[in-house]
A and B are shown apart, each in its own frame.
Chain A
């Protein structure tokens, strides 16, 4: 593929190791002017590490980065910025209590110059917003912005510094479909003006929609490079995971008795989040119960109830046939509830704990991990090693801090921690959100296997396709109310959409 356009960015032989894990292994490629290059790979394939090296957050063990023919000194984000490389991180780097303009100006002016030059800056920001279709109020405090708006500020920040190369790390993970469309339009305008873009993603249809060329990473190596026009989703997926992709096709469920039963259960609302309103639900053994609904309609309240964080304020709540008296996370664990929380970073793990310490987070208080208040770290470590092996967690070792792991590997550890206790009831709240195909099918297969082993699974997801593929019974939530259960195959997505919009409950209630 001889591209006549000039090379703006060139990586050669980039290698980075964390302990015994090689995150990047001799990666090299070139980015041409006016091109959208997609960097595709599973979680843990080394995409983010590579971009952090390029941007100077990490120092590579070997290899060079060249921008416009000039070698970039390693380990200096300032140098990358000065050379015209702008990065939009997966987790935003904005100051919540400052305005949009102030956030864009941070770091652009020398300390000894008084004032911010707001007027001049505001005019430039307004021009950039207009030219690139990045509508955002320049005097709004960042705290008040939506996720999509924050991302626009990040892009404006890069453009304001006259970036010639824009790196977007998983930019669509947090966007609604409409916002994604708008982002793609912005990217189109940017390349028309001669900017070059690296688009990091693991979502195939987005890569197909937005890129000119795709580089696939697998296990830290370049697994392939193709022009987007000459490939399709299926072939990309194969390159990504190194094997044929299968969709989950669970066998017919054999539901048993109800292991957890809610009868007209209500919970109080929490802030803007609705509580449960007289919800009746039975989680049956050997069955996956899917919970569909628009985000923020009470799924969180139900998840908190099942996981033990909240107790019912009204109604009958039974676990394993017995009415629940005292309900807490520990009570839920003792009752055999395995939990996969919605937010694996904030709720599911402790970033500065090692894998070993995280592996026993729910069980540390009982043998063999502790006896009479004394920890048995050898047993804990053996447990962590078993999870790492059985659940294919890629990591430097059980004594590594979990913050070094990719989202997919972190999720596998959390999944392993929950399933190793052979739970009777499993709460899987957005279990595959943000995961790549490999980790996603792995987690889904494990949930199906747990169901076949007789567990009652409650699957909460905003992805209707996932709910339809996996669930034996589907309920829909809207404003804290729960629809009746619809057996597999009895409702189309459009029919479920009617319930998700809040219609139909009046008749049922």
Chain B
């Protein structure tokens, strides 16, 4: 058996395979639910209902998609340049940390505080990825290792701060930061709906990244460096500078996920701010085949699976790990389905 590229895959193939992947996920989830003693036929309805069945569910999904769009974009931008940023989690927390610091320590009025927090977050995330990028360029240190390990360093740093100087004196002893003031929170996107401006910002970021990639010299340089650094260098493209710019862009995007979670949703910084948004961002970016607009769709899909499966496990009264398994099956089968729209399996 081997894979053979498919040119100009048919619409049936491009739509049918992902649908098949979804159907497979539902079957697996149903069987697991049955084993746990719930009605297997009800689970599909419950997942869909939980993800998009009501206005509340839909908004919950979009809220959950917001940080994933940012981390997905961060990964997609970096991977295009073959800069393997596995550290979106660390950059997210760096962004969240600076958001809280600027929001709580400087006492700025709301309209000034919000852009100040966002800028500080972007800078922090960019700097967190700048280190690994410079080490890669100067000393040839593998950025997969450095960015991955920085995730743990950043989490431990935040843990230390939350137990120490940043601990909320009114927090009943919980390791959490003081909340940022009400007027420094992101407003609702539409009045009366539980969806904050972080989602709007994520959409703007996705379109901007897309425009950068197809319309600007920087996007052209990033693609050239990613595809053939030797030819790029020969042609006079400043390869190192392009990789540094890519790192700053990628780190800044991931940090916006932290900013939007703190300023839009949670209001303060805790150690469970991100249930692995940085890592899931890799899945989101791969599902989108690194296309910035595709990242929006795949982030909403991944968020929907998370939210729907969680809601199902609550409604059907089955253990939550069934939700986790459903999510994993959904992601794996979707990746496979997307692979199979580009390649076909040939015998022999």
B234 touches A341 (CB 8 A): yes
Q: How far is the CB of A429 from chain B (nearest CB, A)?
A: 11
A78 contact set on B, CB distance < 8 A:
347-348
Interface residues of B toward A: which range?
A: 20 to 34
Specify which of B215, B217, B232 lies most central, judged by the most chain A CB atoms within 10 Å of its CB: B217
Q: Mark B213-231, 1 if CB is under 8 A from A, else 0.
A: 0011111110110011011
B215 touches A375 (CB 8 A): yes
Q: Mark A360-376, 1 if CB is under 8 A from B, else 0.
A: 01101100001001110
A341 contact set on B, CB distance < 8 A:
234
Q: Is chain A's interface secondary structure helix, strand, loop, or mixed overall?
A: loop
A308 contact set on B, CB distance < 8 A:
236
In the bound assembly, the distance between CA atoms of A39 and B131 in angstroms comes to 55
B238 touches A361 (CB 8 A): no
A329 touches B234 (CB 8 A): yes
B218 contact set on A, CB distance < 8 A:
373
Q: B346 interface residue, CB < 8 Å from A?
A: yes
Specify which of B4, B346, B348 lies most central, judged by the most chain A CB atoms within 10 Å of its CB: B348
B217 touches A373 (CB 8 A): yes
A370 contact set on B, CB distance < 8 A:
216-217
A350 contact set on B, CB distance < 8 A:
224, 227-228, 231-232
Q: Is chain B's interface secondary structure helix, strand, loop, or mixed overall?
A: helix
Specify which of A78, A348, A350, A352 lies most central, judged by the most chain B CB atoms within 10 Å of its CB: A350
The number of chain A residues with a CB under 8 A from chain B is 31
Q: Mark B227-250, 1 if CB is under 8 A from A, else 0.
A: 110111111111000000000000
B227 touches A329 (CB 8 A): no
Q: Which residue of B lies closest to A371 (CB)?
A: B217
A79 contact set on B, CB distance < 8 A:
348
B230 touches A346 (CB 8 A): yes
Q: Which residue of A lies closest to B4 (CB)?
A: A75
Q: Which residue of A lies closest to B212 (CB)?
A: A373
Q: A307 interface residue, CB < 8 Å from B?
A: yes
In the bound assembly, the distance between CA atoms of A275 and B232 in angstroms comes to 23
A352 touches B217 (CB 8 A): no
Q: A282 interface residue, CB < 8 Å from B?
A: no
Q: How far is the CB of A442 from chain B (nearest CB, A)?
A: 23
A330 touches B227 (CB 8 A): no
B227 contact set on A, CB distance < 8 A:
350-353
In the bound assembly, the distance between CA atoms of A375 and B224 in angstroms comes to 14
B216 touches A348 (CB 8 A): no
B228 contact set on A, CB distance < 8 A:
346, 349-351
Q: A20 interface residue, CB < 8 Å from B?
A: no
Cross-chain contact of B348 among A76, A309, A346 (Cβ < 8 A): A76
What residues of chain B have their CB less than 8 Å away from a CB belonging to chain A?
Answer: 4, 215-221, 223-224, 227-228, 230-238, 346-348
13 A-B contacts (beta carbon < 8 Å): A76-B346, A78-B348, A307-B234, A329-B234, A332-B236, A346-B228, A346-B230, A347-B234, A348-B234, A357-B220, A362-B235, A370-B217, A375-B219
